[in-house]
């Protein structure tokens, strides 16, 4: 029996509905917990996906705009039951959390929520860090075990990626541009700076920072409504208004990125990020890094 997209059926829709719904209800702790639960289900318990395919899917979903764990859940459901599975699994994964958010919104917007709701929220917030660490560790150990098994080349890449990832989350690049340096291009709550995206020198997208829908002050106000911001926290502003490269692909480039391409993202007077697209490396190969200018 084949699914509607040609995949061999490995699970019934009832199974997808039940298992993905269970993760949607019990997946407390955000994306790390969701990914760990999906791994336990699809790789360890049911063996619908192998370890390599699952890790590749995590990497691919993290490159896409939007919530990575939700995209991973939909991919896994598609992988085991085709398009109907993706639709069923996606709804089963998303709807429980959505219903919970709506119920809490009613409680908070209707007036002062009950003390037990506040207490439950405070306790849940305190537990999130522990849940995230446990979920991350449950993914880290199997990944390292497989890297050790696959030889020295893969171990070297694993350690290199770990160090590069640690550096990426702990640093913000070699340069900072302070507001006083951009005083002459201030445009209301934003700045009159041009932003562009090129592939092999061909302009794919462009926009202006001055057309941003919200100022950084409004972004900070919104972020602080749901989280306790600390000095030194970094706030991302999102993509250029004309869209990300994936959204612009069919309009200009007419194809997906491929090895040999060079992607260049630039913001006037702030800097340029250049990323080469390369083949998947062999066990002894290496990946060319992005460069900042």
- Please indicate, yes or no, whether residues 184 and 280 belong to a single structural domain of this protein: yes
User: What's the pLDDT at 6?
Assistant: 46
Quick check: 48 pLDDT over 90?
Answer: yes
**Residue 160, domain member (yes or no):** no
**Residue 37, domain member (yes or no):** yes
Residue scoring higher pLDDT (218 or 42):
42
**Residue 109, domain member (yes or no):** yes
- 113-117, 256-260, 281-285 — which is least confidently predicted? 281-285
User: What's the pLDDT at 18?
Assistant: 95
- Please indicate, yes or no, whether residues 106 and 204 belong to a single structural domain of this protein: no
**Residue 38, domain member (yes or no):** yes
- Please indicate, yes or no, whether residues 204 and 140 belong to a single structural domain of this protein: no
| Cβ neighbour number for residue 232 with a 10 Å cutoff | 6
**Residue 157, domain member (yes or no):** no
Q: Which DSSP category does 252 fall into?
A: I
User: What's the pLDDT at 292?
Assistant: 45
- What CATH number does residue 260 fall under? 3.90.850.10
**Residue 163, domain member (yes or no):** no
pLDDT tens digits along 117-155: 878 877 877 777 787 788 778 778 888 888 888 888 888
Q: How many CA atoms lie within 13 A of 44 on its CB side?
A: 11
Q: What total of structural domains would you count in the chain?
A: 2
- Please indicate, yes or no, whether residues 44 and 136 belong to a single structural domain of this protein: yes
pLDDT tens digits along 187-200: 888 888 998 888 99
- Please indicate, yes or no, whether residues 200 and 240 belong to a single structural domain of this protein: yes
Q: Which domain holds residue 124?
A: 13-149
Question: What are the angstrom distances between the C-alpha of 114 and each of 98, 107, 124, 225, 251?
Answer: 20, 8, 16, 19, 51
Average pLDDT, the chain: 82
């Amino acid at each position: 029996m084949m699914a509607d997209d040609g995949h061999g059926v490995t699970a019934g829709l009832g199974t997808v509905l039940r298992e993905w719904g269970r993760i949607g209800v019990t997946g407390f702790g955000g994306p790390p917990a969701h990914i760990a639960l999906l791994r336990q289900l699809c790789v360890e318990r049911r063996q619908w996906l192998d370890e390599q395919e699952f890790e590749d899917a995590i990497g691919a979903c993290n490159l896409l705009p939007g919530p990575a764990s939700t995209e991973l859940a939909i991919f896994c459901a598609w992988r085991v039951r085709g398009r109907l599975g993706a639709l069923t699994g996606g709804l089963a994964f998303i709807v429980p959390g959505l219903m919970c958010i709506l119920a809490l919104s009613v409680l908070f917007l209707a007036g002062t929520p009950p003390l037990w709701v506040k207490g439950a929220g405070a306790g849940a917030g305190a537990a999130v860090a522990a849940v995230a660490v446990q979920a991350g560790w449950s993914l880290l150990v199997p990944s390292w075990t497989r890297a050790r098994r696959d030889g020295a080349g893969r171990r070297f890449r694993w350690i290199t990626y770990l160090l590069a990832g640690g550096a990426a989350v702990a640093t913000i690049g070699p340069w900072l541009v302070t507001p006083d340096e951009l005083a002459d291009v201030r445009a209301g709550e934003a700045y009159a700076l041009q932003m562009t995206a090129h592939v092999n020198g061909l302009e794919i997208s462009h926009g202006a920072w001055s057309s941003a829908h919200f100022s950084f002050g409004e972004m900070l106000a919104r972020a602080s409504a749901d989280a306790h911001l600390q000095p030194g926290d970094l706030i991302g502003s999102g993509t250029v208004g004309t869209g990300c490269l994936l959204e612009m692909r069919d309009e200009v480039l007419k194809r997906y990125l491929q090895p040999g391409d060079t992607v260049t993202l630039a913001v006037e007077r702030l800097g340029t990020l250049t990323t080469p697209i390369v083949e998947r490396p062999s066990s002894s190969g290496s990946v060319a890094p992005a460069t900042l200018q």
